[in-house]
Structures are given as structure tokens and as C-alpha cells.
Structure 1
Amino acid sequence: MTTTTAPTATVRALRFAAKERVAVVDAPLPEPGPGELILDVKAAGLCGSDLHYFHMTHEEMRQATQPRSPEMTPGHEIAGVVKAVGPGVNHPEVGDRVAVQHYSGCGRCESCRRGWDVHCERGARVYSLNRPGGCQDELVVTAKDCVVLPDEVSFPVGAFLACGATTAYQALLRSEVRPGETVVVIGVGPVGLAVLAWAKAFGLRAVGTDPSPERRVFAERLGYSEIHDSAGFDIEAVVPGGASAVIDTSGNVHGRRTALEVVKTWGTVVFVGLGPDFAIDPVPDLIMRQVTLRGMFVFSVPLMMEAVAEAGRLGVDLAPIITSVSSIEEGPDAFADFAAGSVGKSVIGWE
């Protein structure tokens, strides 16, 4: 007897077709396995790490520090509606609105059991890196990676909370800055803008710096009045004695050096931005001024749940940071605009 196998379903997806070129293709969509679900994707944010691969050839992608296949759909900032669930899934349920933590660990090691899948001892799988990302119509997602969104949090904002906006939330927590104190944000790209939005909700004074005139104007248009050109920034003229906390989102040596120069004695600096190189002299930079320096990478699942809940409860104004919502057909142009230096947050959306 001859048996036939049902064809795998296909969905529209964005792929890196060549260096600095994105195309819409048909991609396979497998059935969800145990512990998995099918997500009807509603929003997928574009992040700087996506842009990193946009500028690579296929061979460069395969040989990168974090190698990826050109056949992998980009987009690790994901939000949508649960369409179907696989065996053993009782949370979330079909119809739930969710965002997805993009590091998916084994669920069994100590780090994962604490919610820190990013530090999975067996090696996490990462949406858009070594498993398909969110820039496709539907997606197989591990159920435990999902965080339910309250109705007041839109899908684009939910996608933003799946990476940049929760990164900003955690950075403020790690800085230990308190109401009435001042935080300086180095770089007012999407993550820096999210820091400003959270700081406002927390009752903090927030000061931003950036070398880009377009980014500074955009931040001021959002209502953040204390935005300065990073060239020649004089902390004494703005915050005499220095800032209680400084968060560097730039990831470059100039931003990191500025962060240590403008923090006050007993203050805290948090490095968030990814990038190579930085020389530090522990005696004048840290020891003599009692400065705390912290590195921060992604966040735990429980902390993402907390950020999502707090964004809804406090009414944190993240939506204005999102400047572009493009259809999947417009995805190639959205990537090109992003690479050209568009301000704010760009999202691929299905609504």
C-alpha cells in the first residue's frame, strides 16, 4: 500500500536574499510538537541585531560570531495570537494575546528554572538566529517562552517589550536609581527612548545624549526636553556633581567613556549596548569614586512578565517610539529604511 505524507504548510516570510537585500518568500510551517504552539504573528520589531546581518553576505552570516543560516527568518521581537497548541500545552490558550521571550532554554537547568533562559547551561535556541523568527505570517513557538499581554498593550508595543523596552526596564532596575534622582541615557535610539519613557513613569529626571541631530529632534518631539548633543556634553552644566545613574545604550567606546565620566561618586553605570573594545582604569574610573559598573544582557522571563504588567499598569508611553508599521510585503523597504538611519522603532505588522 502506498502512503502519502501531507505537505507541510507554507507561510509568507522575510529572508535575507543577499547582502543588503530582503525578499518575501514562501517558508515551511511545521506542526507544533509537544510543548509548542502556532502563533498568528501580529507584530515583529526590527532590531539592531537584524541590521547587523542585513549588511552581511550569506557566507559572512555563516561565519559570524553568532552564525546563522540565510534560510532563517529574521525578527526576534515577536507578538501575536495563539492559533493552535501542540500536545501538553495548557498555557497559554488559543486566542491569548502574547509576546515571546526570544531566548528559549532547555527549561531544566538551574538558569532556566530561574527564568534566565538566556544563560541556559545547555545552550539556548534564539528566535531569528537558530530557529525561525517573527517576520512571517505564522510561527512555531515554545509555549513557555510566551508572556500574555494585557488588552491595553498593543501588539507593536508587545513586540517592543519582547526585547528593547524590557531591556530598558531592567537597565533602570539594575541602576538602582530612585525617584527624585537623575539618570543620564547615552544614546536615544529605541532602547534609549524606552529608558526615557520608563524613567518618566518612575518619577525620575532623565537626560539623554546622542550625536545624531535627527534622533535628538525626534526625542524632543516625544516630549523629552533634556536631550543634548553628545559632542561637548558638559555634565556640570546640566547635573552639577554628576548623575546618580548612567545607562549606556550606544555600545561604543565613546558612549562608555562618557558614561564613566558623567556618573557621580557612589553612582552606578549600566552597560547595555553591544559593541567591541573599551579600556578602563579601575583606580580613577571606579575605585576612587566608589562607582558601581554593571553589565546587562537581555532579561529573564519573570522580569519580562513584570515589565509587561507594569507597562499596562503605569501607562508607560511606548507607542510613540514606534514610527513605522509596515506590511510583510513592504518588509524589504522597511529594512532598507532602517538601514538608512530611520529614527524610532520599525515594526512589521499584520493589522
Structure 2
Amino acid sequence: MSTMRCVVLHADWDPRPGFKLGAKDIEGKQTYLGSRVWRNPRVVIEEKEIPKPGPGEVVIEVKACGICGSDVHMAQPDDEGYILYPGLTGFPVVLGHEIAGVVVEAGPGALDKRTNKPFKGGEEVCTEEMVWCGSCQPCADGYPNHCERLDELGFNVDGGFAKYVKVPARLVWSLEPLKSRYKGLDLFLAGSLVEPTSVAYNAVIERSGGGIRPGDNVVICGGGPVGLAACAILKRQGAARVILSEPEPARAELGLKMGADYVINPLKEDFVQRVLELTDGYGAALYLEATGLPTIVYPQIEQVIWEGRTLNARVIVVARADAKMPVTGEVLQVRRAQIIGAQGHSGHGTFPRVIESMAAGMDMTPMITKKIRLEEVPENLVLLRTDRKEGKITCVMD
């Protein structure tokens, strides 16, 4: 067998008026401003060559790969036909970046971090999706999520909606700690959730300056997988009240299972007054914007900060959106509040800490509410444009 079936996204390079190539853009191939360039996205199942590992690389047989909101937005056109996803993109590309599987082949110099020895094959692993170089200034400073030579699995280099995926060994993490809790396919389902959970961990722990103090209140806006993961992480860190704002009943119920103490339906309740009521007028120490609707959500968060009694609140923006937030500087100044951007999941031991937390009982697998096959990925990418009932849809490989 020399080929494999893959879910491939094609789109047309058709820049909007006024677009200029950036320093890291490649004419006709790649841009860091996807929604400004790519038009008419098309998802197809194609045959591609099975990859071979080079030096420092491994080939993973994919066992499970989750659908991310980024996948949906890369494949979703706006009214003018441009993709919704605003970030790094290069098409055509095999989609999928929430990957767990088994190492089947390793190139020279590909080392297993768990053993500090070469991969021999058969290791159960998951992988980061951000392909950082390790040698640019941001990487040297400890910020691999902002690598100047960044590639991303499933965004501009081939990802995991395929039988096999080639990955630099430096991105690969062992699932060995999870084996005491998960067996068989469940091990790989749990492993596929390490990446989205690490995005939440990076946002609410690393980017927020260490997370919260036990007893703090937190508000999570958006009950998608990253928001749900944040509920679990912050409750485990000692939040007094984890408040989830989510209008979809199925996701609201899932949020309660994952660690939320209260759920607000912002379409039926006054978000500002409800948060203040639940916190005895204090508001929260941390707010996570995980909806991708900052023009709607941020003004409400800002009003809670203004009316609440908690100083030094942090607003962490993790959802990607091609939109400007309407910020009132006076609120930030008077209430000593901060807005902090969060991108990615790599660095600072995020992946191994998430894996160890899961091994110690932070069960993320309830987020997976639907399992599909590879040939069902395209139709589910379309379904998720409007259907918000599911938590995480995960592709399970044959």
C-alpha cells in the first residue's frame, strides 16, 4: 500500500482589495491572514502518498482525530465566499490537528522524550499541531506559539484526517501516563483531547499569569471544546464559582459535567446582572472569551468588570475572529483590568501537564459526543456550521 485516503481542503487564492503580502506570506500558497485571501473552500476525500519520515521525524498511524472549530471555519465561506478562519493557512492541505495514534516509523535522530531514546515503533502518542522551529527569537525566548517560522498541522502542512501523518518528533508526547485509566480506543480518544485541552490550559494558566487563586470566580464565555476544557481546568485549580455562558442546552448540560457550577443562557438572561447576582456583586477574576463573537461578548464582560467589585480582572481572548473589539480604556484603567491574547498550546510543559492532569482524574472524554469515520468528515464540517448540540466530534480511523 503506497497511498491513503485523506480529507483535503482546496481554496482559491483571491486576495481582497487592499491585501498586501506579509513577510511570512507566500504568493499563491500561504498567508497569515486566511480570511483576507482564500475563497471558495472545497473539502474532498483524495488519495495521497503515505509519508516517509526524514531526520528527526516520525510517522504516526492516526487512531483518532477531533474536528476543531478552526477546521469548520477554514472550510466555511462568508457571504463573499472567503473562508472565516483569519489565521495561518496554506491550501491544498490535509485537515485535522487533534491527533492521537501509534508511531509506526521513525527517522534518524527522532527521540522519544519519555525515554530519551530513539523511537522504535509501537509507542502510543499524541502531538502538538504548532510546528515551531526552536531557533528563531520567539522560540529562543520560550514562546514557540509565536515562532517566526511557524507551520501548523492541518493548516498549512498536512494534518491528521488521514491514515498516517508525518510529524517532527519534538512535537510528540507519550500517552503512557493515561494507560492506567484508558484502554483500547478510549486511550486514543483521550489522547486526541490533549491538544484542545492544552489550548485552554495555555489560555487560562500560562497566558493569565498562573491562572487563579483558589476561591476566585471565573466566567467562561462559550461552551465549545476549549471553553468546556477551561471549566475543568479552572475548577481543578480551585475556582469558587465557574460560570459558563452558553445558549445551547446540550452544551450547557455538558459544561455542568465538565466543572461549571452555573450556566447562563445569554439569549434569555441578562448576562451582566446574572454574573453579578451569582458572585454577590463581585464579578470574576478571570473571563475567557471563547465564542469568537468579541463584538457582542466583550462589551458585556466589560460591563461586569465596571459594575463588579473585583479589581485586576483578566480577560483572556482565545477564540479566533476577524473582528475589532470595542474596548473602553477607562474601564481597564479604573478597574485595573487587562485584556490578554492567547494563541496555541506549546511550550512551558503544557502538554505533559495536561496529560498528567488527565491521568490523575481530569476526565475530558465526556466532551466527545459523536464518533465518525473518515468519509463522514466533510459532511460533519458542514453540519457544525449551524449545529451546536455536539461537544466534540471525533474521527475514528479504521
Shorter chain as denominator, the TM-score bin is: 0.7 to 0.9
- Give the equivalent residue in structure 1 for 2:397: 350
Deviation digits for residues 150-193 of structure 1 (CA, Å, limit 9, x no counterpart): 2246222222221x211212222143311121111111111111
Q: CA deviation at 1:226?
A: 0.5
5 Å matches for 1:164-175? Answer: 164-173=196-205, 174-175=207-208
Corresponding pairs, count = 338
| Equivalent position SS for 2:354 | helix
Aligned partners of 2:258 and 2:364 also within 8 Å: no
1:147 aligned residue (173, 182, 187): 173
Code of the residue aligned with 2:375 in structure 1: it is: E
| Equivalent position SS for 1:44 | strand
Aligned partners of 2:7 and 2:44 also within 8 Å: yes
Aligned partners of 2:98 and 2:192 also within 8 Å: yes
Q: CA deviation at 1:303?
A: 3.0
| Equivalent position SS for 1:42 | strand
Q: CA deviation at 1:119?
A: 1.5
The answer to whether residue 100 in structure 2 is matched with residue 99 in structure 1 is: no
Q: Which stretch of structure 1 is more off in the superposition, 209-218 or 14-23?
A: 14-23
2:151 aligned residue (115, 121, 125): 125
The answer to whether residue 312 in structure 2 is matched with residue 260 in structure 1 is: no
| Equivalent position SS for 2:315 | strand
Code of the residue aligned with 2:95 in structure 1: it is: P
Cα distance in 1 between the residues matched to 2:87 and 2:311: 37
| Equivalent position SS for 2:100 | strand
Code of the residue aligned with 1:195 in structure 2: it is: A
1:226 aligned residue (256, 259, 262): 262
| Equivalent position SS for 1:243 | coil
Superposed CA RMSD in Å reads: 2.5
Q: CA deviation at 1:30?
A: 2.8
Cα distance in 1 between the residues matched to 2:138 and 2:367: 32
Aligned partners of 1:184 and 1:208 also within 8 Å: yes
- Give the equivalent residue in structure 1 for 2:291: 250
The answer to whether residue 364 in structure 2 is matched with residue 331 in structure 1 is: no
The answer to whether residue 68 in structure 2 is matched with residue 47 in structure 1 is: yes
Identity rate, percent: 29
1:277 aligned residue (324, 343, 357): 324
Code of the residue aligned with 2:297 in structure 1: it is: G
- Give the equivalent residue in structure 1 for 2:227: 192
Q: CA deviation at 1:15?
A: 2.0
Cα distance in 2 between the residues matched to 1:65 and 1:268: 24
Code of the residue aligned with 2:150 in structure 1: it is: A
Cα distance in 2 between the residues matched to 1:131 and 1:350: 20
Q: CA deviation at 1:237?
A: 1.2
1:13 aligned residue (6, 19, 36): 6
Cα distance in 1 between the residues matched to 2:218 and 2:263: 12
Code of the residue aligned with 2:75 in structure 1: it is: F
Code of the residue aligned with 1:289 in structure 2: it is: R
| Equivalent position SS for 2:374 | coil
Structure 1 alignment gaps of length 5 or more = 1-7
Code of the residue aligned with 1:143 in structure 2: it is: A
The answer to whether residue 216 in structure 2 is matched with residue 216 in structure 1 is: no
Code of the residue aligned with 1:155 in structure 2: it is: F
Q: CA deviation at 1:96?
A: 1.7
Cα distance in 1 between the residues matched to 2:315 and 2:261: 22
Cα distance in 2 between the residues matched to 1:251 and 1:333: 22
- Give the equivalent residue in structure 1 for 2:47: 26
Q: CA deviation at 1:91?
A: 2.0
Cα distance in 2 between the residues matched to 1:197 and 1:340: 25
Cα distance in 1 between the residues matched to 2:200 and 2:51: 34
Q: CA deviation at 1:242?
A: 1.0
Code of the residue aligned with 1:281 in structure 2: it is: T
Cα distance in 1 between the residues matched to 2:287 and 2:86: 31
Q: Which stretch of structure 1 is more off in the superposition, 339-348 or 302-311?
A: 302-311
Change (3 A) 1:116 1:147: farther
Q: Which stretch of structure 1 is more off in the superposition, 337-346 or 290-299?
A: 337-346
Deviation digits for residues 276-310 of structure 1 (CA, Å, limit 9, x no counterpart): 11121211x21101112211111323433343333
Deviation digits for residues 284-339 of structure 1 (CA, Å, limit 9, x no counterpart): x2110111221111132343334333323431121101111212133233323323
Cα distance in 2 between the residues matched to 1:257 and 1:304: 30
Cα distance in 1 between the residues matched to 2:358 and 2:258: 19
Q: CA deviation at 1:194?
A: 0.7
Q: CA deviation at 1:214?
A: 4.0
TM-score, normalising length: structure 1: 0.87
Deviation digits for residues 205-232 of structure 1 (CA, Å, limit 9, x no counterpart): 2001123344324434667451011241
1:303 aligned residue (332, 349, 356): 349
Q: Which stretch of structure 1 is more off in the superposition, 244-253 or 127-136?
A: 244-253
Aligned partners of 1:161 and 1:304 also within 8 Å: no
TM-score, normalising length: structure 2: 0.78
The answer to whether residue 305 in structure 2 is matched with residue 289 in structure 1 is: no
Q: CA deviation at 1:64?
A: 7.1
The answer to whether residue 99 in structure 2 is matched with residue 78 in structure 1 is: yes
Cα distance in 1 between the residues matched to 2:108 and 2:2: 19
| Equivalent position SS for 2:219 | strand
| Equivalent position SS for 2:351 | helix
| Equivalent position SS for 1:165 | helix
Q: Which stretch of structure 1 is more off in the superposition, 214-223 or 311-320?
A: 214-223
Aligned partners of 1:24 and 1:329 also within 8 Å: yes
| Equivalent position SS for 2:282 | coil
The answer to whether residue 209 in structure 2 is matched with residue 182 in structure 1 is: no
Aligned partners of 2:10 and 2:42 also within 8 Å: yes
